Amino acid sequence: MISRIHFLKGDITAMDVDAVVNAANTDLQLGSGVAGAIRAKGGPLIQEECDRLAPIALGEAAVTTGGRLKALYVIHAASMQLGGRTTAESLKLATHNTLLHAEEKGLKSIAFPAIGTGVAGFPMADCARIMLGETLEHLKVRTSLEKIYFVLYDDAALQAFEEAYRQLTARATPA
Ligand code: APR
């Protein structure tokens, strides 16, 4: 099966996809990192919509306009409380709920950052394993998603995701 999962290094706000995923907190306050880039390039509409939707539960995801981004939507994946830290469970849930919201909207393409691995201090290798695990599970069921991009910010992150993908999809070597 041609993989619907793609990895690239770059700025997620430049992606021309149906939805860009924000590394969000439960207050939906767009701070620095991915959120700061989305706020800067997407314009004030996004935070205004977030203010109407906030707060959301830890591990939930909220959908807003993409504002001035190329993306139609931003899906805010809340893997942490403001000032808190991301955990394996909150990251798994936030990834799962983001994919569900994309499917509910019938989206065809989505771009994820390495959620939790910046301000929230979550280890990159664990993030890759958890996010890709959830994504592979989602792709086993019928979904509108045809292209799922992971947009990494440096070579180490890109290698971590490519390695995690290899491990998760390695065929059981014949005995
Ligand atoms: N494009 C792609 N990846 C990016 C970009 C970008 N423009 N900017 C940063 N990154 C990378 C970081 O290098 C890190 O690996 O995204 C990953 C996530 O980092 P953060 O954006 O800091 O997200 P997170 O660790 O989940 O912390 C979220 O930070 O900015 C606040 O409001 C935000 O409270 C929330 C918290």
The predicted-structure confidence for 57-112, as pLDDT tens digits, reads as follows 999 999 999 999 999 999 999 999 988 999 999 999 999 999 999 999 999 999 99
Report how many domains make up the chain: 1
Which residues, 6 or more positions from 89, have their beta carbon under 8 angstroms from its beta carbon? 59
The predicted-structure confidence for 109-161, as pLDDT tens digits, reads as follows 999 999 999 988 999 999 999 999 999 999 999 899 999 999 999 999 999 99
Of 21 and 175, the one with more pLDDT: 21
CB 34 near ligand 1, within 6 Å: yes
- The whole-number pLDDT of residue 173 equals 54
Whole-model pTM: value is 0.96
CB 33 near ligand 1, within 6 Å: yes
Domain range for 157:
5-172
CA of 139 to the centre of ligand 1 (A): 25
Closest CA to ligand 1's atom 22 = 118
Average pLDDT of every residue of the chain: 96
How many Å is the maximal CA-CA distance in the chain? 57
- The whole-number pLDDT of residue 83 equals 86
> Residue 122 is part of a domain; what is its CATH number?
3.40.220.10
